[in-house]
Amino acid sequence: MDHLLHSTQLAQLAFPEAVPAITLAHYLFVSAAMFVMGLIGFLTRKNMIIMFLCTELMFQAAGLALIAFGRHHLGADGQTFVIFVLCVAAAEAAMALALVVLLFRHKETLSAQAWKELNG
Amino acid sequence: MDTIISPIALYLICVLGALGVAAALPRRNKSLEITGGLVFASAVGLAVLVLGLKATDSGQPLPNYFFYPFAILALGASVRMITHPRPVYSALYFILTIIASCGMYLLLSAEFMAFALVIIYAGAILITYLFVIMLATQAPSSASAQFIDETDAVAREPVISCVIGFALLAILTTAMFRGVSDLPAASHPELAQDSVLLNLPAKVERILDRAGQLEAGERLARNEDGTAAIDIAARTITIENTDLHTTRTLQSDQWPDKLAAGNLDRLGYNLMHDHPMTIEIAGIILLMAMLGAVVLARKHIELEEDLKAAQARKLGDSMSGGNA
């Protein structure tokens, strides 16, 4: 038992800011609200660049939840996952912006409604 | 009491937020946008109040106040981002959202990720977005400086999407506030911390050296598998003298204060030790994205056949001229 206690103390040393009175649920609430903002933005805006920006907002919200859970479990896995989320977000941004530039050259507008004929 | 008030307050927040965002989304009627902004601000205020009450409920009288400005800034900037009719301003508000969430990362003691996020997201990805926005938006002529493109001026189905979005938020938050109290407190951080230290003998040695615990010719003893000779259970560190081939043990009351793996050590160790293959995959994803972006955005220049032939001849002439 002493052994376990010791490792807990060490882990607390590595995370010096023991979050007083702010629980995991607080961060999860902010994260969920940010995610919903991104969702609403993606559904309502017609500008393709803003739509992709809103997906970035959703990535951001997911990252906040990952970091909060990582802090909750006193591990580094959450932060590692945020690195990979960041990586995927960068790849997605590159592809999406290339696609937007391509589509803009065809129709001279950024409106997603100009591509109605693509409906599946 | 908490089980009754908490859901009602949460659903009130969700309804208010939905009304606010639905009204604040860009539309022809400008006055409604300001009203929507005010309604949304009241929803955020109510949310902060509920969260603050919940925080004081949990035993400690003083909540960590820094959380609230960051949360308000993040939510306010994100709603302004999805409601602002001009794309450049949207991108700038998104940068504000990122910086606010970096503040929350700092509060969660993820300082490396906070700074990496500012550098990578706000510094690199968002600047690329700004480039493309400016590249792909027609410059307003001087006569119509206030003109906003139809694409950005009117939102599509604001009411339905707000209802869907905030219904999702209501369900999520209910599940969270119910479920989290059932989660066991994080009292079993396993041996992650110790195994990180065990596997970083050079770091332990450096800390000991800086604290003046190592004399000339001494170094931290290693186990056979290369890990640092720290006995976790007995709380001792073995130090060997390479000249005299003697060993001594350092008791826990002589340990330097800073003998702990910091956030960056833990993150780096976790990344390299537990997820080495994922780094390779991430590299491949980035490479493929780069190639795909180059192929997609490349400009096809169609030349007539005789023009092509003329260009090829000119190229050949210049090359042979250069050789001669």
Per-residue model confidence as pLDDT tens digits over B147-184: 666 667 777 888 888 999 999 988 888 877 766 544 44
Say if pTM beats, i.e. exceeds, 0.90: no
Residue numbers in A near B90 (CB within 8 A): 50, 53
Instruction: Examine the pLDDT at B118 and tell me if it is beyond 90.
Output: yes
Candidates B58, B104, B158; nearest CB to A23? B58
CA B243, B246, B249, B254 dihedral sign is negative
Amino acid at site B132: V
A contact test, residue of B132, B255, B273 with most A CBs within 10 A? B132
Question: How far is residue A107 from each of residues A95, B179, B295, measured CA to CA in Å?
Answer: 19, 49, 19
Candidates A10, A67, A92; nearest CB to B105? A67
Those of residues 131-170 in B touching chain A at CB distance below 8 A are 132-133, 135-137, 149-152, 154-158, 161-162, 164-166, 168-169
Rg of chain B over Cα atoms, rounded to whole angstroms, equals 30
Cβ(B48)–Cβ(B72) below 8 Å: yes
At residue B137, φ and ψ (nearest 5 deg) are: -110, 135
Cβ(B7)–Cβ(B51) below 8 Å: no
- What pLDDT is attached to residue B152? 73
User: What is the three-class DSSP state of B187?
Assistant: coil
DSSP label of B154 = S
Annotate B13-22 with b (16+ C-beta within 10 A) or e (fewer): bbebbbbbbb
How far is the C-alpha of B131 from the C-alpha of A67, rounded, in Å?
30
ipTM associated with this complex: 0.83
How far is the C-alpha of B315 from the C-alpha of A77, rounded, in Å?
56
DSSP label of B159 = H
Q: Position of tokens 């056979």? A: B224
Residue numbers in B near A100 (CB within 8 A): 132, 136
Candidates A16, A64, A98; nearest CB to B292? A98
CA atoms within 13 A on the CB side of B307: 4
B249 pLDDT band (50/70/90 cuts)?
confident
